[in-house]
Structure 1
C-alpha cells in the first residue's frame, strides 16, 4: 500500500521493520521518540538514536549496521508500554540537508513482506525531518505519513517533544547561542555514549538495577527529568566506550573488553562498574564461585555449601518479587526482564529460578484462564496471552495441557459465534446461487408429540442462507430471517423461530460446537457481528475480576480447590443477578456445575 503525505493505514500489532532508503552520498540517521498521551516523552530515555540504539522496553531498536543507503528501525508493537500513545519516526542528515537526498522512501515491513510505503518528495533544505508516526486508535495501531521538515535540525525536533539536549557552550552576553551543531556523517559503534546522570554504581552484592515495585521517589523523578541527551558524537578528550557484547539487549556478565581476565556487568544498555574476577573452576570446583567442593562418602561431589545457602536465601525473596511482577505486569516487559537480570547478576542458573517459580506460574496461568472464561468469550488477545505465558514460563504437564485444550476450544467456539465459520463440501446437495455450507453433520430431530417425543435420524445442514434438516421420511427448512435464537438446553440444540410451527430441537454429538456455529451463521445472516472488543451483558470488568479473585484467595469458596476455577454469579443472571463483586464468587468447575442455576 502506497501512502501519500497525511494518509494513514492500519498496521498489524506485531514486530515491524521501518526501513528508510535513499540515493545520495549523504547519510541519513534514523531516530524514534516514544510519546505519552500528552505528546511528549516521559523521560529522555524515550529517545532512540545513535548513542542509545535500544529502548529500555525493547519496543524500538535501531540497527547500527544497516545495508548501504538505508537506515532501519525494528519496532515491536506488542512490547510497547501502555503509557506510550505514539511512536514518532524521524531522521537527520549530516553535512547537508534533505534537499540533497534523492529517492527518499520509508517502507514498513512485517514478517510476510512490505505492508506500506511512503515516497517522501518535495523535501525542503532542512537537516531533520519527521517521517511519520505510529499511533493507537480504538485499540489498534495505525501509521500516519507526515514528511515534515525541521529547520532547527535534530536538536530542535527532539526538544519539541520534551527531550533535554546538552548544550556544550551555553550562551552568555559575550557569546550568543550557536546554531545547532550538525551531526557527524559516519556511524560508529565506538562513538561516545550520551551523557548520563549518575545514580550510583553497583556493588558486589547488589545488581545495578535494583528490582522494586514501589512508586518512584521525588529524587528519582528529578533525576529522570534532569537526564540530558548528548547529540554531538564528536566530544574531544573523551575516550570512546567499549563496544557492546554480542547480545546487547540481554543484561548479563560478559568478558570485560578492557581486562579479559575478569567479567563485567552489561545492564542491557551500557557497561557498568560492577566487575568480578573470572572464575576458573576445575572438574571438582563450584562453577559459581570456583571454590573446591567436598567429596561425598559414597562418591560424587557435594554442592557448594556457601553457594547453596546464598541461592536458597536469594530465591526466597525473588519468589515473592516474581509473583508481584506476574500479577501486575505479566511475564513480559521491562519489569519481567529485570527480574531475570537480577537472577543472572547473582550467577544463579535460570533453571533453578523456573523451578522455584513453577507453583506461582501455574497459579498465574490458572488465573489467566479463569479471567478469560469469566464472560464465556475467549478473544484472540486472551488466547495469545495464554500461549505466550505457557512458553515464557516453560510450563508443561497434564494440567497445563488440559488448560491448553480448554482455551483452544473456548477460542474456537468464540470465533464461530463471531462469524468465523468453516466452509464444507456437500456433494449431492442442491444449493442456491452463492450459498455456502458451514455445517453438515448427523443429528436427531426431536419433536414433542402428545404420545411422547418422536426421534428422526438425519443430517443437519447450515448454510449462509438457511438451516436444513434432511431425515429419512421428513425434511424441514428454516431461513435465517425466521430464526430468533440458538441455545443449548439439556445437551440438545434448541432453535427458536417466528414460524407458526415454532423452532426445532436437535440432538447432536457436540451441542456446544453446533450451537456456536449456528449462532455465528445467524449473526452473519442478520448482520449482528459484534464489533472487536464488544461484549454482552455477561461481561465482567477486569477490576471486578481482580477484586473477587483477591477476596476469595484464588480458590473455590466451596471446596478450596485451586484448579479449573470459574467466576459464578451467586444470584444467576437469568434471575436478575447483577455483575458486581458482591454477587460474584470463585467456584471450581465441579462445584459450579453442581450449583447450576440455583441460588
Structure 2
C-alpha cells in the first residue's frame, strides 16, 4: 500500500522489516526509538542505532550488513513491551543532506511481502529525518508516514525524544571503546555554551508534551506544519498495493539470513516511577548533563549520556571452515545450531537452521511430507517447484559456461556454488545437465579427431569433462575407447614406443624391438599379388620381415614414409623397388608405431610440413560446427561425428571452412576419397 505524507495504515502484529532504499552514493544510518505514553524514551537503552544494534527486549534489531543502497530494521511487534506505545523509525547522514538523495523510499515488509510504502520526494536539506512510526491504536498496531527532519542531525533528533547525548561526541568525533550507555564522570558537566541552553524551569516527563519541538532551530519543520500526533484523522487515502523485489523477510520455513549483532555490556539505569503524576516534582531534563535538585516527590532521574561516536573496532572474524577454497554451507562458528554460507573467501550473513533428519520431513526445507495411500511419502511440492524454476535458468547458464571455458575454472565453480547455495543436491544438477553434457563431450571428441592427432591436453579435457559431469552409459564408454585409442596412436607417432622382449632373436647390444607381430608380406607381381606369411619386427635400428623362404630388411635411413591404403601398411623407400606392403590385424596401430620409430630414427625430420597440412585451426572447427549445427550433413546423426574434407587432401583439397563438413563415421567411410 502506497502512503502519502501523514497517511497511516494498519500492520499485522508480527515480525516486520523496514527497508530504507535510495539511489545515490550516500550512506544512510537507520535507527529507532521506543517511546512510552509520554512521547519519550524510558531509558537511553530505548535508542537502537549503530553502536547498540539490538534492543534489550529484541523488539527492534538493526541489520549491520545490509545490501548496498539500503538500510534495514527488523521490528518484532509481538515482543514489544506493553508500556511502549510508539516505535519511531528514523535515519541520519554523516555527510550531505537528505535533499541530495534521490529515490528515497521506506518500505514495510511482512512475511508475505510489502504491506506499506512511503516515497519521500520532497525531502529538505536536513541531516536527520524521522521516516515514520509504529503506534498502538485500540489494541492494534498501525504505521504512519511522517517524513520530517532535524537540521541538527542525529544528536538533535534523539535529544528531542529524551535521549541524553554525550556532548563530546557532538563536538569531536574521537574513537571511544567504552559502553555507549556508560554513566559519565561526575566532573564531566556540560559547558555553559553548549548547543542547547539549560532552561530555567523544566517540566517533568509526565507533563512534557511529545509533539512540541524544543527549539525552532533544532526541529526543521515546514511552515505551519506541526508534528503529527494521533489526532490526525485515519481517513487518509491509501494507494493500491504494490509488488516489489526488495529484500524482505523470507517466507521459507527453512530459515533465512540473520544479521550478526555485537553484544554490549549492561549498565544500571535509574528511571522515574511509572506512577509519577503531572503534579509531582519535575525530573531532570534528559538534555542536561547535570541532574536537577532532588525533591520530596521522589528520587531524581540521573541522565545517562549516549556516545554517538561510531565505534570502529571490529570483532575478530571466525575461523574459516576445513575446506576454505570451496563455497558451501558449513556449521556456523557462532551458532552451532544453524549453517552459515562460506563464499570461498569469507563468511557471509546468509544462514539457515538445520533440518532435523526424518523420513517424513523434507531434507531441504523441513516441511512435513504427505503420506501416500499405499505407503511412503510424496516429494515436497514447495521444493520441487522451487528447484524446477531455478534449474530452468541454471541449465542455460551451464551450457554457456561449458561452451566458453569448459568444466573448469572460476565460472564452473561459481555455477555449482550457486546450486549449493539453493541447497539443491548436485546429483539433481548433473541429471539436468546430462543431455547438455553429452552434446559437449561429442563436440570435444569431434574437435579432437579433426586433424587425426589426439594431444594430451585434449585427452585431459575429455577425461575431466567426463568426471565433472558424471556421465556414464554405452555411448560414453565407446567415446572413452575412441579417445584412448586415438591418444595411444598419437603417442606412438610422437615416438613414445613400447619395448618388446624377443628372446628368440639375435640383436645388436643397443638394439631395442618396438614391434613384433604376425604379418603377411604382399608383393605385386605381373601374375598377381604374392602373399608370404611371417613376422614383422621393428626396432630402433631397422625394419625386418622374416617369412618362410623370404625376408626383408630395411634400415630406417632408406625409409621415406609410412601410410595405409585399403587396410594395407605401405612403406615407401628411397629406391623404386625398395618399398614393402604388409597386411596386419591392426593396420592403424602398426602404421603409427612404424611412423614413430621412423621419426625417432631420423630425429623427427620426416617430410617437414606434410602433417601440418591436415591440421585444422580451432576457429575453423568452431565455424564448421556452428554452420552444420553439430550434426551429420548427410543423415542428421549427432553421434560419432568427424570432420571431412569435401575435396580430399589427396586430390588437392584445402583445409578451410568452405571445404570442410561434418559427417558421422558411417557416412564418412561410405564417402571415402570420392568427391
What TM-score comes out, normalization by structure 2 length? 0.53
Q: Give the structure 1 partner of residue 515 of structure 2.
A: 439
Equivalents in 1 of 2:389, 2:469: separation in Å? 22
Gapped runs of 5+ residues in structure 1?
1-199, 209-234
SS of the counterpart of 1:383? helix
Closer, same or farther: CA 201–421 of 1 in aligned 2, 3 Å: farther
- Tell me if structure 2 keeps the 8 A contact 1:556–1:588: yes
Superposition deviation, residue 557 in structure 1? 1.2
Q: Deviations over 1:292-348 (max 9, x none)?
A: 111112211011111111111111111111111111111111101110111111111
Q: Assess, with a 3 A threshold, how the Cα gap between structure 1 residues 575 and 301 changes in structure 2: closer, same or farther.
A: same
Query: In the superposition, relative to structure 1, how do residues 535 and 333 fare at CA in structure 2: closer, same or farther (>3 Å)?
Result: farther
2:452 is aligned with 1:376: yes
CA distance in 1, matches of 2:248, 2:660: 48
Contact 1:325 1:336 in 2 (8 A): yes
Deviations 1:5-31 (A, max 9, x none): xxxxxxxxxxxxxxxxxxxxxxxxxxx
- Are residues 1:247 and 2:247 paired? no
For residues 212-223 of structure 1, the aligned pairs below 5 Å read: none
Divergent runs of 4+, >4 A: 200-205
Q: Is the 8 A contact 2:328 2:341 kept in 1?
A: yes
Secondary structure of 1:551's counterpart equals: helix
Instruction: Note the alpha carbon deviations across 1:512-554, whole angstroms, 9 max, x for none.
Output: 11111111111111111699x9962111111111111122111
Structure 2 equivalent of residue 147 of structure 1? none
3-state SS of 1:486 partner: strand
Match of 2:638 in 1: 562
Larger Rg, first or second structure (1 or 2): 2
Aligned with 1:404 (options 458, 480, 505) = 480
Is 1:427 aligned to residue 503 of structure 2?
A: yes
| 3-state SS, counterpart of residue 518 of structure 2 | strand
Give the aligned partner of residue 662 of structure 2.
586
2:570 paired residue number: 494
Partners of 1:500 and 1:307 lie apart in 2 by: 76
Of stretches 443-452 and 430-439 in structure 1, the one that deviates more from structure 2 is 430-439
In structure 2, relative to structure 1, the CA distance for the partners of 1:492 and 1:530 (3 Å cut) is: closer
Whole-Å separation in 2 of the counterparts to 1:497 and 1:515: 15
Q: Are the equivalent residues in 2 in contact too, given 1:201–1:273 (CA < 8 A)?
A: no
**SS state at 2:433 partner:** helix
Deviations 1:54-105 (A, max 9, x none): xxxxxxxxxxxxxxxxxxxxxxxxxxxxxxxxxxxxxxxxxxxxxxxxxxxx
Say whether residues 1:451 and 2:527 are aligned partners: yes
**How has the CA–CA distance of structure 1 residues 355 and 253 changed in structure 2, closer, same or farther, with 3 Å as cutoff?**
same
After TM superposition, give the deviation of residue 202 of structure 1 in Å: 12
- In 2, the alpha carbon distance for the partners of 1:396 and 1:262 equals 36
Determine the structure 2 residue equivalent to 1:415.
491
Q: Which residue in 1 is equivalent to 2:84?
A: none
Q: Tell me, yes or no, if the aligned pair for 2:520 and 2:532 is still in contact at 8 Å.
A: yes
Give me the whole-angstrom Cα distance separating, in 1, the residues matched to 2:358 and 2:499: 64
Equivalent position of 1:332 in the other structure: 408
- How far did 1:281 drift? 5.0
CA RMSD of aligned residues (A): 2.5
- Aligned to 1:359, which of 407, 413, 435? 435
C-alpha distance in 1, partners of 2:614/2:247? 52
Provide the residue aligned with 1:313 in structure 2.
Answer: 389
1:446, distance to aligned residue in structure 2 (A): 0.7
Distance of aligned partners of 1:500 and 1:555 in 2 relative to their CA distance in 1, 3 Å threshold: closer
Residue number among 295, 315, 334 corresponding to 1:258 in the alignment? 334
Report the 3-state secondary structure (helix = DSSP H, G, I; strand = E; otherwise coil) of the residue aligned with 2:614: coil
Q: Which residue of 2 aligns with 1:553?
A: 629
Say if 2:391 is the partner of 1:292: no
The residue number in structure 2 matching 1:278 is: 354
Structure-2 separation of matches of 1:396 and 1:404: 10
SS in 1 for 2:447: helix
Whole-angstrom distance in 2 between the partners of 1:535 and 1:439: 23
The answer to whether the 8 Å contact 1:566/1:586 transfers is yes
Query: How far off its partner does 1:236 sit?
Result: 7.8
CA distance 1:459–1:405, change in 2 (3 Å): same
Match of 1:572 among 635, 648, 661: 648
- Distance change (3 Å), C-alpha of 1:535 and 1:454: closer
* Residue segments in structure 2 that go unaligned for 5+ positions in a row: 1-245, 258-310
Q: How many pairs does the alignment contain?
A: 372
Contact 1:486 1:494 in 2 (8 A): yes
**Distance across 2 between alignment mates of 1:508 and 1:558:** 32
